Amino acid sequence: MKNIKNKILITTGCLAASFAIYSCSKSFLERQPVGQINTLTLDNKAGVNGLLIGAYSMLDGEGINDWLINTSNTSVWNPWAGSVASDDAHKGGGYGNQGERGELENKSYTAQNVILGDRWKFAYAAVQRANEAIRGLNKVAAGQFTDAEALQVKAEARFLRGYFHLEAAKMWRNIPFVDETITFSAGNFKVSNQPAGYAWAKIEDDFKFAVDNLTEAKTEYGRANKWAAKALLAKTYMQENKLTAAMPILEDIIANGVNTKGIHFDLQPQYEELFRTNNENGPESVFAVQMSVNDGGEGRNGNEGLSFNLPSHAGSKSFGGWGHQPSFNLVNAFKTQNGLPMFGTFNDVDVKNNLNVADGDPFTPDAGTLDPRLDWTVTRRGLPIHDWGLDDNSPNISGGPYWGKKPIYWHSEEGGKGSETIDGWQTATGINFNIVRFADVLLMAAECQVENGSLQTAADYVNRVRARAANPAGFLYKYVNDADVTQGFSATPAANYDVQLYTGPNGFVAKGQPYAREAVRFERRLEFAMEGGRFFDLQRWDLASPGYMANVLNTYIPQEVAKFEAYLPGPPQLTYNILKGALFKQGIDEIYAIPQVQIDLSAETAGPTLIQNPGHN
């Protein structure tokens, strides 16, 4: 659905909202200007639809023509603030490079951190796009839109505005809410973020309006429908720890939800199909960012923000990657015992890895039992990387032996939506990103049912997800011939996979609520690993149990450092210095520092309208 994804060149309404951008520049909403479009051009049906598509185009995290913004920082995958800041991943690269990423990983960042600044600026630029569509709609002469058409435009724009605010609220919790009445000309653009947390109710209102007014059917996959709005409303409630409010919405989606083509939501039959361009917008996709490459956009309509978050190569293919590397802790979480996760003991012994193995030396992968989702999430030495060849990447002493696999496209899908280079050497892919997929709905509903005391229902939802993982059709298999991958895959699994369900003596009813709660949380980590959500799951669980997040991460940090030291004995530079001595500060690090430049720009006679989050400087 390229017309939703392609960037729209807009030069009107250059709102200089204090927290987004203070100087009005024609380049703000442009890329490679091809001529100006004045307000008279946009104040009509075609113009408003263009403004709405321009708002959709921001979903991937790329769209501001600002050379100071790094799209890796604003990517919808949120690798740094969502994964590296948790126990899922390391920044990768060298110790002395990309220091702003290391600061998020070791919690030494300040309000001057570049990643935080980029994400704030981008979030409110995206909000601005949605508001422009609403303002434009209000200016269109009567008769150009039918009442029904106008309502859909407004509902979609409010859905997008709610989503962009939600992403900001997850980062900073106490944010300003900016609606279409906020304009530079009105002089009301220095919007406060006080009282603390007030924006959450307004985010809920945007999604409620979308739920009440969006239709189920859409002519294009990428547009939001009623069920997508319900899912985002439920996610908002979950992030606020309002599980009682979220539960009936999630149950409704499970029972009745359909995508824009009227297909009932269900799990994609095989896990790896979720990350292939030829299976996009399937039954599991509730709302997805429509990525596109080889469309004349130089890769910038694709996953540009993940350009470097790939292995350096696969077979003969050079990806040029070096960042966002899975942690030992994450890989160990995929170990199983009698087909079930190991919870408290999973990190005691590592999955065999090649960090201390020379490139030319023989290496045999781990023979223990594993959840097969591991090998669709992480590349491991000696195992196939899709249809490119065996993984023989050298370990990175500042990131570990593993690389993320979900963003890697298949050789057989190269071209088309598969891949494109940016500026001649970076790799972008056309793999969609699912903001919400049905597995997410099932596992959120399972959380709610655990707290509701309905343990069997919770187990049923989790078991649907695990049954998909246990399906041998979805395992990674060895090649028929490692020297000629064109011969395809054999019938021999690439590792010793074993996934069982929570039933009988291992069922939630038999084990009780604390066990069920931990099982659901663990399942979320396995299912959504390296997709940028781990930090925010820990964040919301901390609302229910203050100290939970600090306990998880302060347990992880010294253990992860010790693993590097065990594999790389020697001088200090061979240990994981980025995390060495790091500490997650309870009551502070659960939410991020508001960029100081935005606080400074919000200053009025009585002081700044933006108030820093507690404990940050």
Q: Does residue 483 lie within any of the structural domains?
A: no
Residue 11 lies in a domain: yes
- Tokens representing 459? 């187990």
Measured distance CA(23)–CA(180) in Å, rounded = 19
For residue 154, the enclosing domain spans 1-71+110-214+587-617
Best CA proximity match to 276, nearest among 376, 384, 375, 381: 376
Q: Are 434 and 406 in contact (CB under 8 A)?
A: no
For the record, the structure tokens of 43 come out as 């104040």
Confidence check: pLDDT of 18 > 60: no
Query: Which CATH number is 594's domain given?
Result: 1.25.40.890
Q: What number of residues does the chain have?
A: 617
The burial of 570, by beta-carbon neighbours within 10 Å (0-12 exposed, 13-18 middle, 19 or more buried), is given as: exposed
Taking only the tens place, the pLDDT of each residue in 25-73 is 322 223 333 333 455 578 899 999 999 999 999 999 988 766 678 889 9
DSSP states along 396-424: BTTTBS-EE-TTPPPGGGTTTTSEEEETT
In a domain, 57, yes or no: yes
Average the pLDDT over 221-235 and give the result: 97
Do 325 and 400 meet the contact criterion of CB atoms below 8 Å apart? yes
What are 105's two structure tokens? 């990983």
Which tens digit of pLDDT belongs to each residue from 574-589? Answer: 568 899 999 999 999 9
Q: CA-CA distance, 282 to 451, in Å (whole number)?
A: 31
Q: Is 53 a member of any domain?
A: yes
Residue 2 in this model has a pLDDT that exceeds 70: no
Q: How far apart are CA 544 and CA 518, in angstroms?
A: 13
Residue 424 has pLDDT above 90, yes or no: no
pLDDT of residue 342: 98
Query: Is the peptide bond between 195 and the residue preceding it cis, with omega within 30 degrees of 0?
Result: yes
The answer, yes or no, to whether residue 7 has pLDDT greater than 50, is no
- Kindly state the average pLDDT of the residues 231-253: 98
pLDDT for 617 equals 86
Residue 145 lies in a domain: yes
What whole-number distance in Å separates Cα of residue 205 and Cα of residue 350? 46
Q: Which helix (H) or strand (E) holds 419?
A: strand 419-422
How far apart are alpha carbons 611 and 596 in whole angstroms? Answer: 10
pLDDT tops 80 at residue 24 = no
Structural domain includes residue 44: yes
**211 against 617, higher pLDDT:** 211
> Taking the mean position of all CA atoms in its chain, how far away is CA 236?
15
* β-bridge mates for residue 323, sequence order: 92
What's the first-to-final CA gap in the chain, in angstroms? 43
What is the per-residue pLDDT across 127-163, written as a single tens digit (0 to 9) for each? 999 999 999 999 999 999 999 999 999 999 999 999 9
What was the pLDDT predicted at 457?
Answer: 98
- Please tell me the distance from the alpha carbon of residue 81 to that of residue 105, in angstroms, as a whole number: 8
Return the closest-CA partner of residue 292 out of 281, 279, 282, 301. 301
Mean residue pLDDT of the chain comes to 91
Enumerate residues 6+ apart whose C-beta is below 8 A from 376.
271, 272, 275, 405, 406, 476
* Amino acid present at 521: R
**Backbone φ, ψ for residue 400 (5° rounding):** 105, -175
Main-chain phi, psi angles of 336, to 5 degrees: -125, 155
In the predicted model, what is the mean pLDDT of residues 520-544? 98
Residue 396 domain-assigned (yes or no): no
Of the listed ranges 233-242, 274-283, 580-589, the one predicted with least confidence: 274-283
Percent of the chain with pLDDT over 70: 92
Three-class SS of residue 568? coil
For residues 105 and 90, the answer to whether their CB atoms sit within 8 Å is yes
Query: For 314-354, how does the pLDDT look when each residue is reduced to its tens digit (9 = 90+)?
Result: 887 888 888 899 999 999 999 999 999 999 999 999 999 99
pLDDT at site 477: 98
How many domains does the chain fold into? 1
What are the CA-CA distances from residue 393 to residues 288, 361, 566, 593 (Å)?
31, 13, 21, 36
pLDDT of 610 reads: 97
Torsion, CA 44, CA 49, CA 52, CA 58, rounded to 10: -120
SS3 607: strand
Q: How far apart are CA 62 and CA 59, in angstroms?
A: 8
Q: What is the pLDDT of residue 38?
A: 53
pLDDT at 6: 43
Instruction: State how far the Cα of 436 lies from the Cα of 442, in Å rounded to an integer.
Output: 11
Q: Is the pLDDT of residue 492 over 90?
A: yes
Q: Evaluate if residue 20 carries a pLDDT over 70.
A: no
44 by Cβ neighbours in 10 Å (0-12 / 13-18 / 19+) ranks as: middle
Give 572's contacts (C-beta < 8 A, 6+ positions apart): none
pLDDT, tens only, 351-393: 999 998 988 899 999 999 999 999 999 999 999 999 999 999 8
- For range 74-85, the mean pLDDT: 96
> Is 411 within a domain?
no
Residue spans of beta strands (DSSP E) within 473-552: 477-479, 489-493, 496-497
DSSP, residue by residue, 186-198: TT-------STTT
Residue 111 has pLDDT above 60, yes or no: yes
Residues 429-457 have a mean pLDDT of 97
Rounded to whole angstroms, the Cα distance separating 242 from 207 reads 15
Q: Tell me the per-residue pLDDT of 284-299, one tens digit each, with 9 for 90 and over.
A: 999 999 999 988 888 8
Rounded average pLDDT over 265-284: 95
How many beta carbons lie within 10 A of that of residue 42, not counting itself? 23
Tokens 């002081």 sit on residue: 607
pLDDT of residue 305: 83
- Structure confidence at residue 384 (pLDDT): 97
Residues 6 or more apart whose Cβ sits within 8 Å of residue 185: none
Cα 43 to Cα 140: distance, rounded to the nearest angstrom: 5
For residue 97, the model assigns a pLDDT of 85
Q: Is the pLDDT of residue 107 over 80?
A: yes
CA 436/CA 281 separation, integer angstroms? 11
Q: Which residues pair with 336 in a beta bridge?
A: 341
Looking at residue 137, its pLDDT comes to 97
Q: Which pLDDT tens digit goes with each residue over 158-203? A: 999 999 999 999 999 999 999 999 998 888 999 999 999 999 999 9
Predicted local confidence at residue 65, as pLDDT: 66
What are the tokens at 394?
């050298």
If you compute the radius of gyration of the chain from its CA atoms, what whole number of angstroms results? Answer: 24
